[in-house]
Amino acid sequence: MLIRYLLIVNDDVEDAIRIKKQLCDKNTVEIASQAQTQYMSNFPYQLIILDNDANDLKEAKGPKTLEHIREKNPDCPIVFTSFQPSWVNEEVKATQEVRVVRTDKLLEVLNQEFEMAIQPLPKYFSLPETNSTIIVTYNHVEGYPEGVYRNGKLIILSYDKLARDKAQQILKEKLQKIYKQFEWRADRDRIKNIFVYDGINGGEWPARMASALGHDVRMKVQLVACGCDWQRKVRTANADYVDLYKVECGGSRTLGMIADMILGIKRPNQEYDRVFIPPRIFEKGAEKYRI
């Protein structure tokens, strides 16, 4: 089927424009927000690209919009996008003629499965230099109190001792602090890396935090975890597109060495060769999901 007339539904206008700019000029592409789409009474499109729009820890908007579209047009093919497909609910995945794809794979799917020509993104869509690394833990970071270092090159969100039974509450507070401190649409391209510690006391919260941050910053988060309940952490990392590295229980010493490596510092009696994180992560930053 030759696609000529399509609709992009996405509350992140920048994303929608990037997608549109890379589609062939022969395609007629309309853009609408989730709210606008839910008031539309007619969907005469050959294809609809609908985003999950689960940003800033808020409930996803895409599923409700999908219900409305299907009430008006039960047959139009829909490509449902999300930077974290594991967050997309099962009702969406079971809906007729809906294909769920990771957002950064969208153009590849449009090209290969819908035979749409894809153009390079214009040069004026340049990205700012990535320069900030965030470390988040419910324990302390050896040698570093919580704070901002080198004008934002390193940001540490931590607790001043082992959190133990307070771990999950501390992580919730740190996550809320991050979302108050950053405007992700403006700041996300400046983030080079995020390291999150996952220990036994955090339960599901560290992985959930890594998944949430990875979604909104659009990058692979580095989950540094102790060996306790290791298989659960492996399953979570695979489902939520995060990198996983094993460290000592508590993570404080390794996180301190990671902070050193970010700032170019060497402290005595530190075993930097035991930080089993690829050098490219520190040099080039984590893998990012680009449209």
Whole-number Å distance between alpha carbons of 58 and 146: 27
100: Cα separation from own chain's centroid: 16
Residue 178, in any domain of the structure = yes
- Three-class SS of residue 31? strand
pLDDT surpasses 80 at 10:
yes
The residue that leads in pLDDT, 94 or 3, is 94
In this structure, are 102 and 26 located in the same domain?
yes
* Whether the Cβ atoms of residue 24 and residue 137 lie closer than 8 Å to each other: no
Q: Among 45-54, 114-123, 225-234, 242-251, whose mean pLDDT is lowest?
A: 114-123
Q: Among 7-11, 107-111, 176-180, whose mean pLDDT is lowest?
A: 176-180
- pLDDT recorded at residue 58: 79
pLDDT surpasses 90 at 19:
yes
In this structure, are 172 and 222 located in the same domain?
yes
* CA dihedral (86, 87, 88, 90) positive or negative: positive
Q: In the structure, what pLDDT confidence band is assigned to residue 204 with cuts at 50, 70 and 90? A: confident
Whole-number Å distance between alpha carbons of 187 and 184: 5
pLDDT surpasses 60 at 124:
no
In this structure, are 14 and 75 located in the same domain?
yes
The label of the residue with tokens 């609709």 reads: 7
Q: In the structure, what pLDDT confidence band is assigned to residue 236 with cuts at 50, 70 and 90? A: confident
The whole model's pTM is what? 0.82
Apex 167 CA angle, 166 and 168, nearest 5: 100
* Whether the Cβ atoms of residue 19 and residue 49 lie closer than 8 Å to each other: yes
In this structure, are 149 and 225 located in the same domain?
yes
Pairing relationship of beta strands 243-246 and 47-51 according to DSSP bridges: unpaired
- Three-class SS of residue 95? coil
Q: Which residues have C-beta within 8 Å of that of residue 210, sequence separation ≥ 6?
A: 194, 196, 198, 221, 223, 240, 242
pLDDT surpasses 90 at 290:
no
- pLDDT recorded at residue 1: 66
Structural domain of 253: 132-284
Mean of per-residue pLDDT scores for the chain: 91
In this structure, are 104 and 144 located in the same domain?
no
pLDDT surpasses 90 at 249:
yes
| Mean pLDDT in residue range 25-29 | 85
| % of the chain at pLDDT higher than 70 | 96
Residue 108, in any domain of the structure = yes
In this structure, are 164 and 259 located in the same domain?
yes
Q: In the structure, what pLDDT confidence band is assigned to residue 128 with cuts at 50, 70 and 90? A: low
In this structure, are 167 and 277 located in the same domain?
yes
Q: Which letter does DSSP use for residue 217 in this model?
A: H
Residue 158, in any domain of the structure = yes
pLDDT of 54-101, one tens digit each?
Answer: 876 778 999 999 999 999 999 999 999 999 888 899 999 999 999 999
| Mean pLDDT in residue range 10-15 | 91
Residue 127, in any domain of the structure = no
pLDDT surpasses 70 at 288:
yes
CATH of the domain at 212: 3.40.50
The number of folded domains in the chain is 2
Residue 200, in any domain of the structure = yes
In this structure, are 92 and 161 located in the same domain?
no
The label of the residue with tokens 């009696």 reads: 269
* Whether the Cβ atoms of residue 74 and residue 258 lie closer than 8 Å to each other: no
In this structure, are 101 and 205 located in the same domain?
no
In this structure, are 164 and 102 located in the same domain?
no
- Ordered strands of the 78-82 beta sheet: 28-32, 5-9, 47-51, 78-82, 98-102
Residue 154, in any domain of the structure = yes
**Long-range pairs of 282-288 with CB within 8 A, sequence gap ≥ 24:** 282/193, 285/130, 285/192, 285/193, 285/219, 286/192, 286/193, 286/194, 286/219, 286/220, 286/221, 286/222, 286/243, 287/219, 287/220, 288/218, 288/219, 288/220
pLDDT surpasses 80 at 184:
no
- pLDDT recorded at residue 127: 54
